[in-house]
Homo-oligomer: A and B are copies of this chain.
Amino acid sequence: MVQRLTIKPGVPLSEQPNVIGMNRWHPSIPPVASIKPGEEIILETLDFLDGQIANDDNPEDVRKVDLTRAHPLTGPIYVEGAEVGDLLVVDILDIGYITPFGFSGIFSKENGGGFLTDYFPDAAKAIWDFHGIYTTSRHIPGVRFPGLTHPGLIGTMPSIEMVHEWNRREAPLAAEGKAKPPYPPTAFLGGLKGDSFDQAAKEACRTVPPREHGGNTDIKNISIGSRIFFPVFVKGALFAMGDLHFSQGDGEISFCGAIEMDGYSHLHFDVIKGGMKKYNLKQPIFVPGPNDPHFEKWLIFEGISVEDGVNYYLDATVAYRRACMNAIEYLQNFGYTGEQAYMLLTAAPVEGRIGGIVDIPNCACTVAIPTGIFDQNILPT
C-alpha cells in the first residue's frame, strides 16, 4: 500500500488537521514523512494561494490576496540514505486534481503584478473547469485543451549555508521591492515550534523564486512521467513540492499564474550515491514525460528586445514580453479582451522559446500557441 499524505481542501496549510507542510525553505524544518529509495508515495498539496481564491466571478479575492502565505508545500520528505553530494531521483508517476476546478488570474499592479503588469494593472480572474484531461473556462470561452499537468514547485532542501547565501544575494533586490525577504508573521514551518521556529522564521527563505535546488521553477515540462535528478544538500534530501498546475504556458506570465489547483502527486524516489560530483551537477536536470499533448499546428509570434523605442542589448526578457504582447494584440481580433488573452497565455500550453540571443543588439524570442485549442480558425486567411 502506497503511503499517502492527505490534505483537507479549502483549509489553510496552517490549519490542516495534520502537519503536512511548510511555506518557507529552511533545513531545520522537521520531516513530515520518510521513505526508502525504491519506494513510492502520494503527496496531496493545496493550491499555491492556500485556498484564498473562490470559484466565483469576482476577482476581489485575487486583488486582496495575501501573497506571503504562498506556497503551501507538502514536505519535507526524508529519504533514507540520501546524503550530501548524492542525487535524488524523483519520478513523477502521476498527478491529478482533487477539486474539479482551478483558477488563473491577474494580480493587480499594487499587489503582486506580473510580466505585463504595466499593460494590465488590474486584478482579474478566470475559473477553469476540469473535464478529465481537458479544461474549459466560462471566463475565456471558445477554448478547450488537454492539461500538461505538472508541479510549479518541486525541490530539495537547501543547506543552512545556502539559505544564508540566498538571503544575502537577494537583499539588494528586496530593498527595491524586487525580491521577497524572509517574513516571519505568516511563515509556517511544519512541526517547528517555539524558539526554534522564531530562529528559523527570521531567515527561512520565501518560496517564490526558483533557485539551485529547483523550487518554484514553473517549468511546465516537468510533467507527468518526468524523471528529475536533484542535488542533495542536506542529510535525507528533505524533498518538498506544491503549486500544482493543471496547465501552464511557458513563463507563467501572469504570475497568478497557471491553472492553479489542489491535487495529488504520485512519486517514486531513488538515490544515486555521490552523483553530484560524478556528474558535476549543482542544479537539477530532468527528462520530461512521454505523454505531453501532441499539437500539429502552432501559430508563433516573434518579439525582439526593443520596447517603447529603446533598444535593449540581447535582452531575452524584453523580447519575450514583446512576443507575448504581439500575441495578445493579435488574439483581440478574435473576440478576446486583452485580459482574457493574457490569462490564456499564462494558462494554455503555449511555448516560449529563445530565438537568436547573439545577434547584437537584438534578442529574438517567440511564443507559440497551438491553434487546435480554439473553436475557431485563428490563422490569417
Contact = CB atoms under 8 A, between A and B. Distances in A.
Interface of A: 2, 40, 87, 89, 91-94, 100, 114-115, 131-134, 146, 152, 165, 169-170, 172-174, 178-180, 208-212, 214, 216-221, 224-225, 229, 250-255, 257, 266, 268, 272, 275, 278-304, 306, 309-311, 313-317, 320, 322, 326, 329-330, 332-333, 351-366, 368, 371-372, 379-381
Given A320-B316, A361-B178, A356 B219 contact: yes
Nearest to A306: B169
A146 B290 contact: yes
The listed residue with most B CB atoms (<10 A of its CB), out of A253, A279, A355, A368, is: A355
B355 A250 contact: yes
B354 A354 contact: yes
B356 A252 contact: yes
A144 to B, nearest CB: 10
A289 B316 CA distance: 24
Q: For the complex formed by this chain, how many copies does it contain in all? A: 4
A300 B279 contact: no
A146 B225 contact: yes
Given A218-B364, A290-B296, A311-B169, A354 B356 contact: no
Contacts of A275: 380
A316 B317 contact: yes
A355 B154 CA distance: 13
A320 to B, nearest CB: 6
B217 A355 contact: yes
The 6 A-B residue pairs whose C-beta atoms are closest, nearest first, are A93-B132, A296-B296, A218-B356, A94-B132, A352-B354, A316-B316
Contact of A304 (B180, B210, B266): B210
A209 B293 contact: no
Given A250-B355, A279-B333, A299 B287 contact: yes
A364 B298 CA distance: 23
Contacts of A179: 311, 313, 360-361
Task: Specify which of A89, A297, A317, A366 lies most central, judged by the most chain B CB atoms within 10 Å of its CB.
Answer: A317
A187 B174 CA distance: 49
Contact of A358 (B251, B298, B306): B251
A290 B293 contact: yes
B254 A358 contact: yes
Given A272-B380, A357-B252, A330 B131 contact: no
Given A170-B311, A280-B332, A353-B354, A379 B115 contact: no
Contacts of A285: 299-302, 326, 330, 380
Contacts of A333: 278-280
A250 B354 contact: yes
A139 to B, nearest CB: 19
Contact of A302 (B210, B266, B309, B352): B210
A257 B25 CA distance: 41
Given A217-B302, A286-B300, A180 B360 contact: yes
Q: Interface centre among A172, A229, A309, A364, by most B CB within 10 Å?
A: A364
Given A94-B133, A134-B93, A172-B311, A209 B362 contact: yes
B355 A219 contact: yes
